[in-house]
Amino acid sequence: MTTDEFRKLSAVAALLIPHDEALLTLRSPDRHDVRLFLNADDADPNADDDISAPAEGDVERLMTDEEAHLLGFGAGVQVPIRVTNGTGGFLILLARRPRTYGEDTLQKAQVLADYISAVLRHDDAVRRMSQDLLSLLADVLDIRDVFPRVSEIVAAALPHDRLVLWLPQDQTMHVASNDDGPPIEHVKGEMPRR
């Protein structure tokens, strides 16, 4: 997720939970990798050292008046974000007007946090898939030799029952990840025209 994508998501989320500021802070388990997403163009991109990844017991909650005031707002709601491999953080929605949020806001904010977590888990799966594929294919001369493993790696980000690769050299499909399906030896395809 990019900062621009988060800003767009914040704009849409404002229809569900009105807010003047949205912050998404993610921190890796080693606390060295911090990413801070803000929805305001003029916000300070430096992360606050006091923001930490959520613990297992952390749940969505309304911020106290003091917490919101320290951030320059009248009210806030904070929900944990859990990605993968211990990476986590918080989604914080802030409003200038005091007492903007009630208990009904918590469920809506958690749905939004769950959506963001799912997007970030998918991004992480695609990143890991790309790294694994690069490692696997770095020394391979013929992809057919490792195609079942390619299928396993890709399945983490793009679930499938069978992966088929069409090699256009002689207009014949050459490789399938497994034999679960119709035979491909005699299937012919046409090259797409540009």
Q: What is the pLDDT of residue 41?
A: 47
Are 22 and 10 spatial neighbours (Cβ–Cβ below 8 Å)? yes
- One-letter amino acid of 122: H
Regarding predicted confidence, which is higher, 56 or 136? 136
Q: What angle is formed at CA 96 by the lines to CA 51 and CA 14, rounded to 5 degrees?
A: 80
The confidence score (pLDDT) of residue 26 equals 81
Q: Global pTM?
A: 0.67
10 versus 58: the higher-pLDDT residue is 10
What would the mean pLDDT of 51-63 be, rounded to a whole number? Answer: 64
- All domains of the chain, ordered by start, with CATH? 3-132 (3.30.450.80)
Long-range contacts from 5-14, C-beta under 8 angstroms, 24+ separation: 6/37, 6/38, 6/39, 7/38, 7/39, 7/41, 9/116, 10/39, 11/39, 13/93, 13/112
Summary mean pLDDT of the chain: 79
Rounded Cα distance, 40 and 3, in Å: 10
